[in-house]
Chains A and B, each alone.
Chain A
Amino acid sequence: MMARLVRSCQITARDTLYEFDCPELAGKARPGQFVEVALGEGDSSFLRRPISVFDCDGESRFSLLVRTVGRGTQRMTGWEPGREVDVLGPLGNGFRWPERAGVCVLVGGGIGLAPLTYLARRLLAEGWKVRLLFSPRREDELLNALPQREELEIRCAENRAHLPEVLEELLANADCVFACGPEGMLETVARTTMERGIPCQLSMERHMACGIGICLGCAIAVHTPEGLTYKKVCKDGPVFRAEEVSFHEQP
């Protein structure tokens, strides 16, 4: 389907926010889901790029927060408002949370902040108290992208070594945790929350070819009652329970 770029806004030297008009997608997207963005016609950029839904009004508009890391994301920075962009989605399972509001902790590592924003919006609307732990502090300019900054209790960790300390503090009386970021950070979050017995969901990343479950390219090792097995990040994920994810061992 086609989404019309309404505006783009540079947040940091390498992160850009793109806002699209696309009722078909915005009406369906849930926090934690992603879209597959086509970069344009031709053989030169063959695959789409998977990007999380950063924010969404549930009716007509959604936005993406994209870090420029390579040729495709570089090309996106040249997109002018009014452009029709070919997107596939919303894709993947998304985050789940209990009906009864409580206290939750969101942990975002760098651009891993992206899928947590729409989640924060929904949780706040349902009466949750939302704490956000962002790491590393030197990238905190990225927090300028957050629309609901005042309503969140935000803490920054200096770096990965400092993160467990701040996380411990934020976990006091927390009911659940949601995290996205580099795998090393996610492993730390998984270990810490499991030790404390606090339910935790992680948004995982893999290189994707199709995004819809047909190529088996996005395999992630997951613990199941039948043993260690590969699941698809695009279809079974990208969100997994912390205790499911096998960070090192492969089937």
Chain B
Amino acid sequence: MSSLETKLGRAIFRNPVLGASGCTGHGYEMAEYTDLSRYGAVSLKTVTYHARPGNPPERVNEVPGGIISSIGLQNPGPDVFLEEIMPKALSALDRDQIVVSVAGDTVEEYVELCQRTVERYGDRIAAVELNAACPNVNHGTGYFSRDAHAARELVAAAKGAVEVPVFYKFNTNFENYLEVATAVSETGVDAIYTSNTPMGMKIDLRKKRPVLGNVVGPVCGPAIRPIGMLRIWNLYQAVSVPLVASGGARTWEDVIEYMLAGAAAVGVGSAQFPHPDIVPQIVSGLEAYVEREKLDSLSVLVGAAHR
């Protein structure tokens, strides 16, 4: 077994460094700038049940230690995704590297997206990821992240509908996030993936107006890493499901820190924007670390700071 090999429930990845959804395109867009074979996996940009045009500009801006953004989940919907985008993703990534991220307004919409994906590409992907942090027309943003009952129902339905591993990705910026995670862990979900991005705002002094067209948006990047660290720490004590951290990971040291707090794998998001080749660099750093520390497997570090 390779010392970086990472198990998230039934899914096995070559290493614990994952390209986070929305920050890694669909893999193939990155091929020119990085070595995709070095990614543990790539969560493709979330596809929603109905195509979404996305939010009006401006959509991104720099803040201290990161960015504020409001993309509005722009995507062309499942038909274009399955017909045109998936074939390109398959040509750029190996089977064990592809995680398909889906989102809908209702449990039924999520389930149908999972089923359509698996019918077409079930033997060519590693897992599906339920993006529960997204806007929800009927119940408001993050409904499936903050309603424990709805979250459990969602994950149970998806797990029952498809054979492939199922990840649940949620935003921990709700007071009851441990309750939600506990409810979800009871479904046998393969991994819980956290996006720890709080909402923020920035105002343009010259225009005297909010910078973002959508006025508000999540903050990500190194600035939020300590928040993510605490959430992973608390989640590790609350549930026994494999955890994936995301929030400000930029270096191999950040990945190790998240693992010590309890993450089995780490999603790298916005750090790829300024440095599209950063994931291979992080993985090389981890390889050197394992060698230096004479570890049989990096996985022995998961949660080690609790012991």
Seen from chain A, the residues whose Cβ lies within 8 Å of a Cβ on chain B are 36, 38, 43-48, 88, 206-221, 229-230, 250-251
Contacts of B142 in A (CB 8 A): none
- Tell me whether B33 and A218 are in contact (CB under 8 A): no
- Known A46-B274, A47-B273: A212·B54 in contact at CB below 8 Å: no
- Known A43-B222, A43-B223, A48-B274: A214·B23 in contact at CB below 8 Å: yes
| Chain B 59-76 interface residues, beta-carbon cutoff 8 Å to A | 59-62, 64-67, 69, 71, 74
- Tell me whether B29 and A230 are in contact (CB under 8 A): no
Q: Is B226 an interface residue (CB 8 A)?
A: no
Give Cα A203–Cα B53 distance, bound, in whole angstroms: 23
Give Cα A88–Cα B273 distance, bound, in whole angstroms: 11
- Tell me whether B53 and A209 are in contact (CB under 8 A): no
- Known A43-B222, A219-B54, A251-B53: A208·B274 in contact at CB below 8 Å: no
Among B23, B53, B56, the residue within 8 A (CB) of A215 is: B23
Give Cα A221–Cα B58 distance, bound, in whole angstroms: 11
- Tell me whether A213 and B25 are in contact (CB under 8 A): yes
- Known A215-B71, A217-B71: A209·B60 in contact at CB below 8 Å: yes
- Known A43-B222, A46-B67: A216·B59 in contact at CB below 8 Å: yes
Among A45, A48, A214, A230, the residue within 8 A (CB) of B74 is: A230
Give Cα A221–Cα B270 distance, bound, in whole angstroms: 24
- Tell me whether B25 and A214 are in contact (CB under 8 A): yes
21 contacts between A and B (CB under 8 A): A36-B274, A43-B66, A43-B222, A46-B65, A46-B270, A48-B274, A206-B59, A209-B270, A210-B272, A210-B276, A212-B29, A212-B276, A214-B25, A214-B29, A214-B272, A215-B22, A215-B69, A216-B45, A216-B71, A219-B55, A230-B53
Q: Is B221 an interface residue (CB 8 A)?
A: yes
- Tell me whether B53 and A229 are in contact (CB under 8 A): yes
Give Cα A215–Cα B67 distance, bound, in whole angstroms: 12
Considering the complex, give the chain A residue whose CB is closest to the CB of B271: A46
Q: Is B87 an interface residue (CB 8 A)?
A: no
Considering the complex, give the chain A residue whose CB is closest to the CB of B73: A216
Contacts of B210 in A (CB 8 A): none
- Tell me whether B57 and A220 are in contact (CB under 8 A): yes
Among A212, A217, A229, A251, the residue within 8 A (CB) of B59 is: A217
Contacts of B15 in A (CB 8 A): none
Contacts of A208 in B (CB 8 A): 60
Give Cα A213–Cα B55 distance, bound, in whole angstroms: 16
Contacts of A210 in B (CB 8 A): 272-274, 276
Contacts of B150 in A (CB 8 A): none
Lowest 6 CB-CB distances: which A-B pairs, in order? A217-B60, A214-B25, A251-B53, A210-B273, A209-B60, A43-B222
Give Cα A229–Cα B273 distance, bound, in whole angstroms: 23
Contacts of B33 in A (CB 8 A): 88, 212
- Tell me whether B60 and A215 are in contact (CB under 8 A): yes
- Tell me whether A209 and B67 are in contact (CB under 8 A): yes
**Nearest Cβ distance between residue A248 and chain B, in whole angstroms?**
11
Give Cα A209–Cα B57 distance, bound, in whole angstroms: 13
Among B30, B55, B222, the residue within 8 A (CB) of A214 is: B30
- Tell me whether B71 and A46 are in contact (CB under 8 A): no
Contacts of B69 in A (CB 8 A): 209, 215, 217
**Nearest Cβ distance between residue B246 and chain A, in whole angstroms?**
15
Considering the complex, give the chain B residue whose CB is closest to the CB of A38: B274
Please, what's the 1-or-0 string for B272-283, where 1 marks a CB less than 8 Å from any CB in chain A? 111010000000
Considering the complex, give the chain B residue whose CB is closest to the CB of A45: B62
- Tell me whether B59 and A207 are in contact (CB under 8 A): yes
Chain A CB within 10 Å, residue with most, of B55, B58, B60: B60
Give Cα A207–Cα B202 distance, bound, in whole angstroms: 13
Contacts of B22 in A (CB 8 A): 215-216
- Tell me whether B58 and A207 are in contact (CB under 8 A): yes
Contacts of B71 in A (CB 8 A): 215-217
Give Cα A214–Cα B74 distance, bound, in whole angstroms: 12
Give Cα A44–Cα B66 distance, bound, in whole angstroms: 8
Give Cα A48–Cα B270 distance, bound, in whole angstroms: 12
Contacts of B171 in A (CB 8 A): none
Contacts of A45 in B (CB 8 A): 62
Q: Is B24 an interface residue (CB 8 A)?
A: yes
Please, what's the 1-or-0 string for B23-57, where 1 marks a CB less than 8 Å from any CB in chain A? 11100011011000000000001000000011111
**Nearest Cβ distance between residue B202 and chain A, in whole angstroms?**
11
Give Cα A47–Cα B270 distance, bound, in whole angstroms: 9
Give Cα A6–Cα B33 distance, bound, in whole angstroms: 26
- Known A44-B65, A209-B67, A230-B74: A214·B54 in contact at CB below 8 Å: no
Contacts of A220 in B (CB 8 A): 57
Give Cα A218–Cα B273 distance, bound, in whole angstroms: 12
